[in-house]
Chains A and B, each alone.
Chain A
Amino acid sequence: MNEAVVLGSIFALFSTGVYCIAVKRNMIRILLGIEIMLNSGNLAFIYFASLKSGRGFIDPLGQSIVIMSIIIGGCVVAVGLSLVVNAYRHFKTMDVRKLRRLKW
């Protein structure tokens, strides 16, 4: 039952992230969707770390990977936001639907 709840929430976070990337129009919200998806991976790591050893502490490898993955997620969003700042400065729009000039 516990496992079903955690796996269900991993899936729910993942689909929320995919929904944000697919449906939202504002560039910043799309970047937040990427962050949400990365958080689903973090949750999976922590949950599996807690299952692994029955020795009274949670596997430190899982926690270390999550610490470093949070930093990586921050870097990706930083670069994305610098692109959004450029799009806004030069072209006064943050709407992804206007990014349709390159077709086919």
Chain B
Amino acid sequence: MSKAYSFAGLILSVLLFFSFFLIVANEPFPANSFRHGELVPISPPGEVGPAVSGFLWGYRGFDLLMQALLLFATAMCCIAMLREERR
């Protein structure tokens, strides 16, 4: 019984899939054709990267250096755990 249901479901989904193409072929989507002027009043901020790293290095430089030490320690940990030495 469930085989009949799954077959029916398969036929239905295939028909749905192809019907989508029939609609799109007849009429393309009217993208942006009803817009009026600039809706988003902010322009992109330009240089965000240098400003953020300026703050990070200028005010939190010590934490960044210690973070580098922590990344080194993590690399050390992964080497220690994953190295296979045959003795």
B81 touches A64 (CB 8 A): no
Binding site secondary structure of chain B: helix
Within the complex, which residue of A60, A71, A78, A79 is in contact with B52, where a contact is CB–CB below 8 Å? A60
* Distance, CA A71 to CA B64, complexed state (A): 11
Query: Chain A: interface secondary structure?
Result: helix
Interface size on B, residues (CB 8 A): 15
Give 8 A-B pairs besides A68-B60, A68-B64 with Cβ atoms closer than 8 angstroms: A60-B55, A63-B52, A68-B67, A71-B67, A72-B67, A82-B78, A85-B81, A86-B81
Question: A-contacting residues of B (Cβ < 8 Å)?
Answer: 52, 55-56, 59-60, 63-64, 67, 70-71, 74, 77-78, 81-82
